[in-house]
Amino acid sequence: DQITMRSKFRGAMLGSLMGDCLGAPYEFCDITPGTKMQIQKYFDDLGDPNLKPQPFKKYTDDTAMLKSMAKFLIDKPEPDFNFLAKLFVKEFFSEPRRGYGENVVEVFCKLRDTKCGDAFSPAKTQFNGQGSYGNGGAMRVAPVALFYHSDYQKMLEVAEKATNVTHTHLLGVNGALLQCIAVQQALMIDPKNKINAKKFCHEIFKKIRFLETKGGQDRHDVESEECTYQLKMKIVENFLSRKFDDEFDDEVIICLGNGVSAHESVATAIFCFLKALDDDIPYIKTDDIYRRTIQYAISLGGDTDTIACMAGAICGAYLGEDALNKNLMKHCEKYKDIIELADNLFDAHSAP
């Protein structure tokens, strides 16, 4: 029904923004057991309705690029990737100090110098022609999952091309597709129904295996980058069966990662969402599923803004706007603009 879907669009967009804004202060901090207690207090303090929202927690590159992705889908009847490139360039040069990845800046410069005439060329030359496997494609892909949620093939096609404007390495692209699939799958579930975490995980596994094997049989060379995300999703499934103990988080970080590359962060974000569905992380004390999701992502350290942003988008797509804590939301820069963008995306998607 229409109301629920509108609320889910807002939930995914706000969930992404809030993960970015609230996660950014902890990016690459040292995480000790003490830090995890501090993060609990940080959320408790921000959740106080009397705390003034000034200064805002600022959003970073994740949200800057997410906004461009939404506009790209809203403003044109068919995807125009040169237009997307122009939006990225305009956004970057108007506010370059949003914490962009170190190398993606070269792409923006080349795009600007060629007036975005060929959206796909500059990214191909990154890292001596390997292309970037950073998580920059995945962190901004949620609007594609929302807009094309009822046309799965088109969703994947647009997600891949939109990623290719900055990221062409197989791992960067498949990481973005994995995140896109997770957001779409969460969007399709009624929040009144409890998610079966292992089933949710296995569904994603089957979809990403299909993409990685190009619809064919299992590969034997499991070391191959063409198997990376199916293996990651198997690891997620295994962690979901384990009880939390003192080694748990360290092993999650070793096996799933918390870095800036897509293969060390996207499966981690999916795991944070699924783990937080249950209230069994001892140092996290809240009944709020969304807060648990991003608090856990941030407590794992590393690329906290981006992992919380991706996990937050999945969780928000499942729960919808009403489940997101308004006290936390009001501390996030430009949250009202994100609501408007979510509504415009919804209206554009529903237009005949």
Instruction: Report yes or no: 265 and 307 within 8 Å, Cβ to Cβ.
Output: yes
Q: Is 5:346 a contact under the CB 8 Å cutoff?
A: yes
CB 46 within 8 A of CB 22: yes
Assess 61 for contact with ligand 8NA (CB under 6 A).
Answer: yes
H or E stretch covering 175:
helix 170-187
Among 36, 61, 104, 262, binds Mg ion (CB under 5 A): 61
Among the listed residues 108, 139, 171, the one whose alpha carbon sits nearest the alpha carbon of residue 19: 139
Strand partners, 57: 332
169 binds, among ligand 8NA, Mg ion, none (CB under 5 to 8 A by kind): ligand 8NA
Near ligand 8NA in 99-128, by CB under 6 A: 99, 101-104, 127
- 306 near Mg ion, judged by CB under 5 A: yes
**Per rule CB under 5 A, is residue 259 in the interface with Mg ion?**
no
Nearer to ligand 8NA, 100 or 346 (CB): 100
Give the residue, chosen from 72, 133, 148, 335, that forms a contact with ligand 8NA under the rule CB under 6 A: 133
Q: Which residues of 283-296 are buried (b: 16+ CB within 10 A; e: fewer)?
A: ebebebbbbbbbbb
Residue 295 lies near Mg ion (rule: CB under 5 A)? no
Tokens of 93: 């040069």
User: Could you tell me if 141 and 163 are in contact, meaning their C-beta atoms sit under 8 angstroms apart?
Assistant: yes
**In the window 155-214, what residues touch ligand 8NA (CB under 6 A)?**
169
Q: Please tell me whether residue 99 binds Mg ion under the rule CB under 5 A.
A: yes
Q: Is 134 in the site for ligand 8NA (CB under 6 A)?
A: yes
Question: Is 60 a residue that touches Mg ion (CB under 5 A)?
Answer: yes
Q: List residues binding ligand 8NA (CB under 6 A).
A: 27, 60-62, 99, 101-104, 127, 130, 132-136, 139, 169, 260-261, 303, 305-306
